[in-house]
Chains A and B, each alone.
Chain A
Amino acid sequence: MNLADKKRLLREMLFARRFEERCYEAYVERKIGGFLHLYSGEEACAHGVLEASKKGHDYVITSYRDHVHAIKCGADPKKVMAELYAKETGSSKGRGGSMHIFDVEHRFMGGYALVGGPFPLAAGMAKAIKMKGGDEIVICFLGDAANNQGTFHESLNMAKLWDLPVLYVCENNLYGIGTRIDRSTAVIDQYKRVSGYNIPSAQEDGQDIEKVFKAAKKAINHVRSGKGPYFLELMTYRYRGHSMSDSNAYRSKSEERMWSNRDPIIMLRDRLIEAGELTGEDYKAMDTEVLDEIEDEVIAFAESSPEPRVDELEKYTLAENDPWVYGGGR
C-alpha cells in the first residue's frame, strides 16, 4: 500500500463516515424510512479487506449494514442514497431499502436482513465459481452475532468439505444489537470457533486499515490459490446504536471513549501527518470537499429523483414473459 493509496483510502473512509452521518440526519428529517444501520467506526474493515480484493472481479455479500461495502465495491453513492430515499433511481429501484442495497454490475451481491442469511449464499456463489473454473473469490462480511445462527455452522462445514473459494470476514463489534458478546456467546474469540471445521483463521485489529489490508491479502491469497475457505475476524466497534431505533444505553461512556480514541480515520490521518504527507489543512480541505460532494451531488440526486410508480408495484415479483412458464413456447 503506497502513499497515494493511503491518501485515497483516507478520503474514501472519510466519505463513508460523512455519508453515514448524513443518512442519520436524513433519517431524523424522515427522508429515510424503515430501519437504518450505520457503519461509522467500522470503516477500516470494509475498506481494508476490499482494497486487498480484485474490484469488480470478486463477489461481495453482506448483511444489512451494507451502504459502505456497496460503495467501496463501486456502487454509485447517489444511487445508494436514492435507495435510502426510496426512489426509482435507487440501486434497488426503491424496492429494497437500506438493508437491501444491490449492485450486481459491480458484483456487490446484496445486503440481507437475516444476520446469518448470507453464509450459505456466499458458499453457493463460491460453488458456482468453482464449477465454472474462474479465479474469482467470494467475500462475505458478517457480524459476530451472526455466528450464533445455524447457517454459520452449516455453511462453514460445506465450504471446507468442498474447499470452496470463500473468505468469511467477521466484523466483530462486540454487540448483537444490545447484547454484549460475552453474554450471548460461549467462545469470545470468533476465529477460534472455526477450527472445528478445519478452516484456517486469524484475528486482527479492525481499526487499523494497514493491518486489515495485510491480513486480508494473506487471507485472499489463501482462498484464491484454491486452498478453500478462510475466516478473518476483525475487532471493531460501531459508534451508533445497532439501528436508529436503538437507544444505545447499554454501553458505558468509558468503553465508547476507548474506541473513539482508536478511530480508523483519525489513526490513518495522523499517521499521514506524522509522515509529512498531509497537513491538518489538507485534511480539512478534504473534509469540506467530501461534505460538498455529498450535499451537492448525492443528496441533490436523491431529493430530486422520482418515486416508483404504483402501477409497477408487482414488477420484479416474478420473471416477466418467461417462455418456460408456458411450456417453452413450443
Chain B
Amino acid sequence: MAELMYWEAIRRAHDEEMTNDPLVICMGEDIGVAGGTYKATNGLYDKYGPERVIDTPISENGYTGLGIGASFLGVRPIIEIMSVNFAWLAMDQLFNSAAKVRYMSGGQLTAPVVVRSAGGTAHQLGAQHSARMEKVFMSIAGLRVVTPSNPRQAYGLLKSAVRCNDPVYINEHELMYNMKGEVPDEEYFHPLVGSEVAREGRDVTLFGYNISVHWCLQAAETLSKQYGIEAEVIDLFALAPLDRAGIVASVRKTHRAVIAEEAEPAVGVGAEVMAIINEECFFELDAAPVRVSAVNVPIPYNHTLEKAAIPNAGDVVAAVRKMLGK
C-alpha cells in the first residue's frame, strides 16, 4: 500500500476515472494549465486536453450550472470550486437545479455532478477565505455530502462520487492537502454512506469529521495516557445522509458523546448528531452530550484571535475531562 498525500489521492481518482470513462471531465478556476490551486488536477490538462480539463472563467454559478446541464446528457463533471467561500455564489445552481431536478421531474432527469471544494480555516486567510459551509450543504434534500479525513477517503470517496447518480458535494480542507496516508494500490471505491470507527474505546465517543477527526484522535491518545480514559473516535465521513445507526451504536456502547466540529455551533453537525442521540438513545446516556465548536465570529486575521476562534484537540480533552469529572 502506497503512501500518498491527500492532493495526490484526489489527483489519482481524477486520472483513473477520466481514463475509465471519456465522459468524465473536470472543470474549475485554474485547474487546467495551472494544474489547480491545490494540485488536485496537476498534469491532467496535458493528458486529457482542454475539452475535458476545462479552465473556467471566475463565474461560479455559471460554470456549476454548465456542469449540471452537461450531466443531464450523460457527462460526468467533477467541478472544483477553488474555495468553499466562493461556493456561496453557486448555491442557486447547486440547490435549485442539481439537488432538485430529479424530484421535480418525477425521476426523469438527474444531475450526477461532483462538486469539490476546499473549506475550513487555514493560516490567517481572513473572514472571506475561512468559511466552513458543510452544514449548509448537508441540509439540502437531494444532495449527498461527504468529507474525507485522510488520503484513502479522499481517493475512494471521489471515485464513488463520480459514478454515483446523485449530485455529490465533497468538502475538503485547506490544511489537509499535504497530509500523507496509505491508499490501496488497487482501485478502491469508498462508500458514500456510513461512518468509520477510527479508534475503539469504551468510556466516551468522540465524533469528528474531516480535520476534527484528527483532533479527536489526538485527544484520545492524551486521554488514554494521562487520564486512563478510553475514547472511541467515530469518523463521520458522510454528512448527508448522516449515519444514524453508526452514531447510535457507538453511544450505546460508551454512553457518552462529544462532537468536535470546526464550524460554528448553530444548526451544525454537532447539533444534528446530538438530536439523533436524543431521539434514539437518550435513556442510555450517562452524561449530557457536548459540542466542541468554533466561536460564532467572522474568522479574524490576527493569528492569536484566529486560533482562539477555532477549537483544537486540547478543547476536546477538556470537554471529556469535565464530562467525566477527571
A binding-site residues for B, Cβ under 8 Å = 59, 90-97, 100, 102-105, 109-110, 112-114, 117, 119-132, 150-151, 154-155, 157-158, 161, 315-319, 322, 324-328, 330
Closest to A136 in B: B73
B325: Cβ under 8 A from any A Cβ = no
Question: Which one, B23, B75, B142, B193, contacts A326 given CB within 8 A?
Answer: B193
* Residue contact A158 to B62, C-beta cutoff 8 Å: yes
B144: Cβ under 8 A from any A Cβ = yes
| A-B contacts besides A132-B74, A151-B65, A319-B166, 13 pairs, CB < 8 Å | A102-B109, A110-B109, A121-B66, A127-B75, A128-B72, A128-B73, A151-B93, A318-B142, A318-B166, A324-B164, A324-B192, A326-B193, A328-B163
* Residue contact B93 to A316, C-beta cutoff 8 Å: no
* Residue contact B102 to A93, C-beta cutoff 8 Å: no
Cα–Cα, bound, A121→B100 (Å): 14
Residues of chain B in range 54-102 having any CB-CB distance to chain A below 8 Å: 56-57, 59, 61-75, 92-93, 96-97, 101-102
Closest to B192 in A: A325
B227: Cβ under 8 A from any A Cβ = no
* Residue contact A102 to B108, C-beta cutoff 8 Å: yes
User: A127-B69, A128-B75, A131-B51 given as contacts; is B96 within 8 A of A95 (CB)?
Assistant: no
Query: Can you pick out 6 interface pairs between chain A and chain B where the beta carbons lie within 8 Å of each other?
Result: A92-B104, A92-B106, A92-B108, A96-B106, A104-B109, A155-B66
B binding-site residues for A, Cβ under 8 Å = 23, 25, 51-52, 56-57, 59, 61-75, 92-93, 96-97, 101-110, 141-142, 144, 156, 160, 163-166, 189-193
Question: Which one, A109, A119, A131, contacts B23 given CB within 8 A?
Answer: A131
Cα–Cα, bound, A322→B72 (Å): 17
* Residue contact A92 to B105, C-beta cutoff 8 Å: yes
Q: How near does chain A come to B102, taking the closest CB pair, in angstroms?
A: 5
Closest to B240 in A: A318
* Residue contact B25 to A131, C-beta cutoff 8 Å: yes
Cα–Cα, bound, A265→B107 (Å): 36
* Residue contact A328 to B68, C-beta cutoff 8 Å: no
User: A112-B96, A125-B70 given as contacts; is B105 within 8 A of A150 (CB)?
Assistant: no
Question: Which one, B63, B103, B108, contacts A317 given CB within 8 A?
Answer: B103
Cα–Cα, bound, A330→B63 (Å): 33
User: A158-B59, A324-B192 given as contacts; is B93 within 8 A of A120 (CB)?
Assistant: yes
Cα–Cα, bound, A95→B102 (Å): 10
Question: Which one, B56, B73, B164, contacts A129 given CB within 8 A?
Answer: B73
* Residue contact A120 to B62, C-beta cutoff 8 Å: yes
* Residue contact A316 to B69, C-beta cutoff 8 Å: no
* Residue contact B68 to A121, C-beta cutoff 8 Å: yes
CB-CB under 8 A from A92, the residues of chain B are: 104-106, 108
Q: How near does chain B come to A229, taking the closest CB pair, in angstroms?
A: 13
CB-CB under 8 A from A127, the residues of chain B are: 66, 69-70, 75
* Residue contact A322 to B25, C-beta cutoff 8 Å: no
Cα–Cα, bound, A154→B59 (Å): 6
User: A92-B108, A326-B193 given as contacts; is B59 within 8 A of A117 (CB)?
Assistant: no
User: A93-B107, A127-B69 given as contacts; is B189 within 8 A of A328 (CB)?
Assistant: yes
Closest to B105 in A: A102
Cα–Cα, bound, A154→B97 (Å): 16
CB-CB under 8 A from A330, the residues of chain B are: 189
* Residue contact A125 to B73, C-beta cutoff 8 Å: yes
Cα–Cα, bound, A328→B141 (Å): 23
* Residue contact A124 to B69, C-beta cutoff 8 Å: yes
Q: How near does chain A come to B17, taking the closest CB pair, in angstroms?
A: 11
* Residue contact B71 to A96, C-beta cutoff 8 Å: no
CB-CB under 8 A from A129, the residues of chain B are: 73
* Residue contact B105 to A96, C-beta cutoff 8 Å: yes
* Residue contact A110 to B105, C-beta cutoff 8 Å: yes
Cα–Cα, bound, A317→B52 (Å): 29
The 3 A-B residue pairs with the shortest CB-CB distance, nearest first, are A124-B69, A154-B62, A120-B65
CB-CB under 8 A from B71, the residues of chain A are: 124, 128
Cα–Cα, bound, A330→B160 (Å): 12
* Residue contact A95 to B166, C-beta cutoff 8 Å: no
* Residue contact B103 to A316, C-beta cutoff 8 Å: yes
CB-CB under 8 A from B61, the residues of chain A are: 120, 150-151, 154
CB-CB under 8 A from A94, the residues of chain B are: 106
User: A127-B70, A131-B51 given as contacts; is B163 within 8 A of A117 (CB)?
Assistant: no
CB-CB under 8 A from A317, the residues of chain B are: 102-103, 141-142
* Residue contact B190 to A327, C-beta cutoff 8 Å: yes
Cα–Cα, bound, A126→B67 (Å): 11
User: A128-B69, A150-B61, A150-B62 given as contacts; is B109 within 8 A of A121 (CB)?
Assistant: no
Question: Which one, A102, A103, A124, contacts B66 given CB within 8 A?
Answer: A124
User: A112-B97, A324-B192, A327-B160 given as contacts; is B106 within 8 A of A95 (CB)?
Assistant: yes
